[in-house]
Amino acid sequence: MHLLKDRTKFFLMTVAVLVAGCTSEPTKPAEAPKPAEAPAAKEEKPPEAITGRVAFQKLFATARMWAIDAKPYRLESQPIKAAPGADGKAAVWHGAFASASRRAVKPYVWSGVDAEDAPERGISPGTEDTYNPANVSTQPFDFAFLKMDSDKAFDVAQSTGGKKITVKDPNQPIKYELDWNPRANKLNWHVIYGTSAGDARLRVVVDASSGEFVRIAK
C-alpha cells in the first residue's frame, strides 16, 4: 500500500515538472547594450565684428572695475582672416588704460570670434605695468573727444584713395588706431590699409571729433 502511494506521488511530480517545462516561456537572450550616443557637436558662433566706439565702451567698462579713475590712452583693431576690417568694423580690439591712483597701466582685449589667429572670445585682461605720466605714449585722452566712430573714419578713408585698394582686393586687411595728439589737443583715427603701419599701402588720418579728413600719413 505504501509502495503504491509512493509510486503515485512520484508519477504526479513527474507530470507536474513536464507540464511546467512545456508551458514556461523560453529564456530570452540578453539584449546587446546600445552603443553610446556621440556628443552633440558644439555649434560654432559666427564672428562678431563691431566698431571701435562700441568696443571701447565694452573695454572701458571693464577697466573701470580695475580702477575707477581708469582713462584710455590707446585703442586699436586687429585684422584677422574672418574679419579683415571692412566697413570700419573688427572682430578683435585692443585697448589700454592708465590709472593715476594705482600708478599703473593695464591692457584689455575684446574678441568676437573663435579662431586660431584671434584671442579667446570675450574680454581678456593683460598684464599690469607701471604708469609714468611723463611718457608721451601713455597720455590718456578724454572719451568725449571720440564723437566719430571707426565706420565713419573708414568712409572718409575710402573716399581719399582707399576704395581703389578694396576694389582690387576685397579682403584687404584694414587696421584702425586711435591716436591722441597732445600738441593739437586732438584725437585722430588712423585708417591703415595693412596689418600695421610698416606694411601699409595707405594710411589716412581722420579727426575723431569732427570726422574731417586730416592728412595722408607717410
Q: What total of structural domains would you count in the chain?
A: 1
Residue 8 maps to a domain: no
- pLDDT given at position 12: 45
Give tens-digit pLDDT for 158-198: 999 999 999 999 999 999 999 999 889 999 999 999 999 88
User: Per-residue pLDDT averaged across 140-168, rounded?
Assistant: 96
Residue 12 maps to a domain: no
Supply the range of the domain harboring residue 66: 50-216
Query: Any residues with CB less than 8 A from the CB of 189 and at least 6 apart, and which?
Result: 52, 148, 150, 153, 176, 177, 178, 179, 205, 206, 207, 208
How many C-beta neighbours within 10 Å does residue 95 have?
Answer: 25
Residue 10 maps to a domain: no
Give tens-digit pLDDT for 65-90: 999 999 999 999 999 999 999 999 99
Residue 24 maps to a domain: no
Residue 146 maps to a domain: yes
Residue 14 maps to a domain: no
How far is residue 193's CA from residue 2's CA, in Å, rounded to a whole number?
Answer: 116
Residue 210 maps to a domain: yes
Phi then psi for 68, rounded to 5 degrees?
-65, -25
